[in-house]
Amino acid sequence: LSKELAVETLKTVLDSLAALPGVVFVALLDRDGFLIESAGDLDRGSDVTAAWMACLAESCDRIGRELGEGRLRSMAVEYEIGLVFVQELDAAVMLAVLLRGSAELDQLRTRAHDAAPDLLAAL
Amino acid sequence: MRSSSGLSITRRASGWLIVAAGLAGYIGLVLAVPGDRMQPASLLPWWIAQAVPPILYGALTLFCGRRLSAMRWLVLSLLLWTVHIALGFVTQLVTDPSRLFPPPPVPAILWVPLLLFPLRDVFCGGSTAPGARARSANLRVTPVASARPGAVTPIKVTATVIGTRETSSPPRETVAAPVQVVEQPKPARPAPSVAPSEALPASRPAPSRSSAAARPPAAPAHAETSGSEASGEMVRVSFSRIAEQLPVTSFKLTSDRIAASLREPGFLLVPQQFVRAQLLEGVVRVRWDVVSEQFPRQLGLTDAEIAGRLSDGQLVLPLDEIFAQLPRDLFVLTNPPLDLTGIENFPAPFQPLSADQPEEGAADHETAPVGATVPVAEAGHRDEVESILSPASLPEQDLEIEAESPAQYELTDLDLDQPIEQPVEQPVEQPLEQPVATIPAAASLAELDSEVEAEFPERYLDLEQPVEPPLEAEAALTASVEPEPSPSPAIELESIALEPDQVVEAESEWSAMPFIASAVAGPTDRPTAAPVEDAAHADGRSRLEIMSLLAAVGLFHLAVDSTDDQSLVLVAAPGLPSPDRLAAAARLMLPFLAHGPAGARPELLTLRGRDVTLVLASLDSGDVLVAAAPPMRSLAMLEILCRRAALGHGGVLGATAEDDDPRDEPDLVELELSTRIHVIAQSLSAVGPVIASTLRDLETEWPVYCFLPPDSDVRATAAYACEVSRAMSAAGDEPGIILHTAVLASGRSRLIIRVSTNPFRGGIFVASGETDRPGLAYRQAASAADTLLVG
């Protein structure tokens, strides 16, 4: 029962993040880039999108380690159209968000930071 | 001098603005408040009251500019005191001329400290600013104004000496030269023509090629990137390879005329910096506006129209042509040191080379007599060169005969869009006296390789960089210069370890060059008499495409293992166990890729281990793709790419196995379920409702915990999991490969098999079901398995 509630909690939290202005897609990923839960509407497969975002996080993580700056905590990569935001929740879970426009990034960052304990508790 | 400091003009202006505003307020205060009310009866003797301002200013100066020298601190304090006295004198003139001297501390003491806002920057260079610490470094780069498109921004570079000089030490990053000021206009867009050495101080020697070769393996990519950007190196791409992406039919010119009208006829020049930045993506694109100037103007469409008809306004470039033109050290891997334990039990050529033992193969590699000359028209077509160099195109016949039969070289079909203009121009310069059964292929490979090196030293190989030829080529070279006709080395090779189609290129410098590895490590590249097959070349192209696909997740190393009917196309990331070990481990798992527990063939079989992850997918003609990577976040993408690779090469995703499963079912007995098992079953929500059951493998006495959908054949699945467990255990015999989890995937279905790695508490965990959230399913399964297998 608790597991089912936890999954519902995950979905609820991610839905709240997906409801933020500009947010297209929110995904919770494991350390291999597999989808744990997601929210939002995408034209393409959510698993593929999540996997690409995990690749991006891995690259950035490696850059940080190569530079001696430690592990990746969070990252925001701005593209021509959208923005990818990734935040490490713990060593095995990360939150990845696809955002249209960068105006709402600060709000998203704050909300993601606030939601992290709830997400981790639900896992 | 200050104008060239790092201070912001805006900040200095605001400081003076504060001073001005304070002065206005001060004047207002003086005019509004009567002098006697501003000078209350002093509680202190006059001489103490006069001492307050200099003490206060000294303290404020010390606080605001902590990095001031004593002299500057004194000067600034005195300056403030002087201003204070002058201001007090003027104020007394206005308010109470009867008491001109000494002027009272108030109200001048209210305004004078404001002068510290601008003056502290003047005196201490803004040391309180966050960026001040950066200015204490050796090098100061101070852009005076922000760069705007097209604007020219003056830049001032100041190098200062920090630390002691070490004239005898090798070049270091610390600049040991006196102050050098370079002031030059800096274009807003990078100028590619400036060589890096030109920007260095004269005392700093330019990096030599040998020093570049001695760099640590991870460094070259970055170093080369900056170097190539500066020197503006170009990659040449055949126009015919990208023509189909252009709206050629809308052009006024034909495709041939466009190709002929290019800046370099037939080829598109792409800056290497664009290429290198995208290599890891597995796809290299270039925007139209980058290359548009190379096209003739009379195309009939504007640049905007052409860009609009391209995918994302970009051209996708052929990777095979690009790889062939990139420096070799770009692909140097960071392999760990070779584990040569026990190698002394093997005879030559498997003995490691000692420092005092020259690399015979390498020496012969350079001095070997040229057996056949193969001039190649275009330096950029290394794929074609390697096709020729490949022993596949040089069958086991006399080289003289081959040289007289140029048609032999047309066997290659890797890419013949740009035909070689002069396939074989010269006959054999030094014909061999007798045909050599298997050696000529490898020997000629090395000889021709040397010639191509000499002809295209920069594009092909760095001659100053030590190069180890493949073991078989080295052995063959040694044999070819051996005067005694005693036992054939090829036979020795066969008798030692080299089966006809065995992967032997392993962890050598050659393996670091994927393109060469792909051309050399084909199934026909063996020292023994393997027949040449046209299909091998088609396979080679297909394998290159697979490697290009998987390069997106950092898998660059391609090898082929054809020791059995089923060829393994192994694409691996750097730093993993050698290809033969990976292939051996993968072969143990092939039966499970051919037969799932219910008979259907799974799309993918993913094997997770402590240090390595293997993803297996079936290709056409029975070949199997084996992607090997370290544990990483890109595993999900790796699986997606493996699926794509299988689909793009005749893979049979989820097909029903044609032959019967030959495995024997192990003896299993059913055990009673505990409450804990039921609780765990409920926790596996991501794969849907599952029914728990527990069996015991009588052979190993291990419990098998099964959590399967209601309609599953529990006994068959458990038996399957036991076999998988044994195979994974056997794969662990290969050094560096310890597997603990196998996942069979078909569409949404997942079968997760996890094996205990605890030697004192064996067990197998099996969960199955359909899911859209594999990450959650794996997480729940891992948690449940840990509970059951670890406790």
Residue B316: phi and psi, rounded to 5, are -90, 125
**Which chain A residue is nearest to residue B218, measuring alpha carbons?**
A66
pLDDT of residue A96: 95
CA distance B668 to A46: 40
| Ranges B294-298, B448-452, B491-495, most confident | B294-298
CA distance B519 to B501: 14
Q: Do B636 and A47 touch (CB under 8 A)?
A: yes
Give the residue from B398, B479, B493 showing the smallest Cα distance to B437.
B398
CA distance B386 to B394: 11
Q: Higher confidence at residue B338 or residue B71?
A: B71
| Per-residue pLDDT at B604 exceeds 60 | yes
Which residues is B600 bridged to in the sheet? B656
Q: Do A58 and B632 touch (CB under 8 A)?
A: yes
Interval B581-593 mean pLDDT: 88
pLDDT of B540-550, one tens digit each? 667 777 777 78
B175 token code pair? 């600049």
Interval B608-623 mean pLDDT: 85
> B98-107, B225-234, B645-654 — which is least confidently predicted?
B225-234
| Per-residue pLDDT at B11 exceeds 70 | no
pLDDT category, B346, cuts 50, 70, 90? low
Interval B163-192 mean pLDDT: 37
Q: Higher confidence at residue B342 or residue B347?
A: B342
Number of H helices and E strands in chain B, helices first, is: 27, 18
Contacts of B309 (CB under 8 A, 6+ apart): B246, B247, B250, B301
Q: Do A59 and B553 touch (CB under 8 A)?
A: no
Q: Do A48 and B683 touch (CB under 8 A)?
A: no
CA distance B597 to B666: 13
Interval B441-462 mean pLDDT: 40
Residue with tokens 């670890």: B790
Asked if B493 contacts B528 with a C-beta cutoff of 8 angstroms, the reply is yes
Interval B331-346 mean pLDDT: 59
Residue B156: phi and psi, rounded to 5, are -120, 125
Average pLDDT, chain B: 64
> Which among A32, A63, A84 is the top mutation candidate for probing chain B, defined by the most B β-carbons within 10 Å of its own β-carbon?
A32
Asked if B195 contacts B214 with a C-beta cutoff of 8 angstroms, the reply is no
Interval A79-106 mean pLDDT: 89
Interval B372-377 mean pLDDT: 34
Beta strands A35-40 and B284-287, pairing class: unpaired
| Per-residue pLDDT at B480 exceeds 50 | no
Interface A-B: count of C-beta contacts within 8 A: 81
Q: Do B776 and A59 touch (CB under 8 A)?
A: no
Asked if B392 contacts B524 with a C-beta cutoff of 8 angstroms, the reply is yes
Please calculate the CA angle B305-B308-B314 and round it to the nearest 5 degrees.
120
pLDDT of residue B554: 77
> A24-38, B209-223, B700-714 — which is least confidently predicted?
B209-223
| Per-residue pLDDT at B455 exceeds 50 | no
pLDDT of B761-774, one tens digit each? 788 999 999 998 99
Q: Higher confidence at residue B585 or residue B100?
A: B585
pLDDT category, A75, cuts 50, 70, 90? very high
CA distance B376 to B452: 9
CA distance B28 to B680: 81
pTM for the model stands at: 0.46
Interval B735-763 mean pLDDT: 86
Asked if B93 contacts B100 with a C-beta cutoff of 8 angstroms, the reply is yes
CA distance B53 to B349: 88
CA distance B120 to B126: 7
pLDDT of B91-113, one tens digit each? 888 887 777 777 777 888 888 88
Q: Give me the residue from A7, A33, A48 closest to B633, CB to CB.
A: A33
Asked if B773 contacts A36 with a C-beta cutoff of 8 angstroms, the reply is yes
| Ranges A92-101, B38-47, B385-394, most confident | A92-101
> A38-42, B34-38, B753-757 — which is least confidently predicted?
B34-38
Cα B449 → chain centroid: 27
Burial status of residue B172 (CB atoms within 10 A of its CB: 0-12, 13-18, 19 or more): exposed
CA distance A81 to A101: 7
Give the residue from B529, B247, B477, B201 showing the smallest Cα distance to B363.
B477
CA distance B559 to B621: 18
> Which among B550, B606, B683, B773 is the top mutation candidate for probing chain A, defined by the most A β-carbons within 10 Å of its own β-carbon?
B773
Interval B580-594 mean pLDDT: 88
CA distance B242 to B738: 45
Residues of B in contact with A7 (CB under 8 A): 685-686, 776
pLDDT category, A88, cuts 50, 70, 90? very high
Burial status of residue B129 (CB atoms within 10 A of its CB: 0-12, 13-18, 19 or more): middle
Interval B400-416 mean pLDDT: 36
Q: Give me the residue from A36, A54, A57 closest to B779, CB to CB.
A: A36
> B354-368, B386-400, B509-523 — which is least confidently predicted?
B509-523
| Per-residue pLDDT at B39 exceeds 90 | no
Burial status of residue B168 (CB atoms within 10 A of its CB: 0-12, 13-18, 19 or more): exposed
| Per-residue pLDDT at A54 exceeds 60 | yes
Give the residue from B592, B630, B631 showing the smallest Cα distance to B728.
B592
pLDDT of residue B158: 33
pLDDT of residue B742: 93
**Which chain A residue is nearest to residue B680, measuring alpha carbons?**
A3
Asked if B158 contacts B139 with a C-beta cutoff of 8 angstroms, the reply is yes
Contacts of B546 (CB under 8 A, 6+ apart): B558, B569, B571, B625, B645, B649
| Per-residue pLDDT at B516 exceeds 60 | no
Interval B643-658 mean pLDDT: 62
| Ranges B361-370, B447-456, B693-702, most confident | B693-702
pLDDT category, B615, cuts 50, 70, 90? very high
What ipTM does the predicted assembly reach? 0.91
Interval B245-254 mean pLDDT: 80
pLDDT of residue B329: 65
| Per-residue pLDDT at B585 exceeds 50 | yes
| Per-residue pLDDT at B137 exceeds 90 | no
Contacts of B467 (CB under 8 A, 6+ apart): B362, B365, B461, B509, B510
Residues of A in contact with B647 (CB under 8 A): none
pLDDT of residue B633: 67
